[in-house]
Amino acid sequence: MVNHIACIKSTNTKRKKISMKWSCYTKQHGVVLVVSLIFLVALTATAVALMQNTTTDMKMSGATEMRSEAIQASVSAIDEVIFNQVTSSNTNLFTTNPATGFTETNQTVLLPGTLTGATASVQALPQNELPGDENNCSTHHKDGYDIEGLTCIYFRVDVTRTYGRNGTSVLTTRAGIQQRVRKSSGNE
């Protein structure tokens, strides 16, 4: 680009002294405008990138919060299943002979009137189907002698809960229950 310099001579005759000034102006033909527009585009691109990063962070924190709520609701549903079995007037599934290996999925028995938004199932596990680390129920007293007439029974409680903005994520929580019960003719 070509810079043109124009100088103008001005005189001030209002005072007794006559003063002459030279003023020079540079014509830059829009160079400042082009440079400022480039900076403006760069700043706008930076702002847009920062806004997208913030939006992504907000989505991630929202998803983490929803997952945390789903975990808490699942644990609460497991507690609710156990509470309903222990305190209800129905037959307590946790005292049923698991040798036959049953599965209970009736939600009116397991989670009646729940507010957790979860579904549950209870599965009785015969002792021979347990993994080695779960088969540690002892019928021995802490002092080392056998407690006659006791046996262990095992149950697995599975709770499933959907979560997420569109309900597309599924969380399954599993709890194992083992308890000592008295041996009976059908429970050996």
DSSP string, 7-25: EEEEEE-SSSS-EEEEEEE
User: 26 and 75 share a domain?
Assistant: no
pLDDT at position 111 is 81
pLDDT at position 187 is 43
CA distance 158 to 103: 11
For 11, the domain range is 4-37
Task: Measure the CA angle with vertex 7, ends 4 and 13; round to 5°.
Answer: 165
Query: Which residue from 156, 173, 166 is spatially nearest to 70, judged by alpha carbons?
Result: 173
Examine the pLDDT at 42 and tell me if it is beyond 90: yes
Domain assignment of residue 51, yes or no: yes
Total residue count of the chain as it appears in this document: 188
User: 68 and 13 share a domain?
Assistant: no
Examine the pLDDT at 36 and tell me if it is beyond 80: yes
- Global pTM value: 0.61
Bigger pLDDT: 120 vs 154: 120
Looking at the chain, the number of H-run helices and the number of E-run strands are 2, 6
H-state helical runs in the chain: 31-87, 107-110
Quick one: DSSP state of residue 140?
A: B
Query: Which residue from 3, 52, 44 is spatially nearest to 26, judged by alpha carbons?
Result: 3
Domain assignment of residue 65, yes or no: yes
Domain assignment of residue 58, yes or no: yes
Domain assignment of residue 18, yes or no: yes
Bigger pLDDT: 128 vs 39: 39
pLDDT at position 5 is 57
Examine the pLDDT at 188 and tell me if it is beyond 50: no
Examine the pLDDT at 37 and tell me if it is beyond 50: yes
CA distance 27 to 45: 31
Domain assignment of residue 187, yes or no: no
Q: Which residues pair with 154 in a beta bridge?
A: 125, 178
Percent share of the chain, pLDDT over 90: 19
User: 51 and 105 share a domain?
Assistant: yes
User: 72 and 15 share a domain?
Assistant: no
What order do you get walking across the sheet with 150-163 strand by strand? 103-104, 118-125, 150-163, 169-182
State how beta strands 118-125 and 103-104 pair: antiparallel
Contact by Cβ (8 Å): 118, 91: no
User: 94 and 147 share a domain?
Assistant: yes
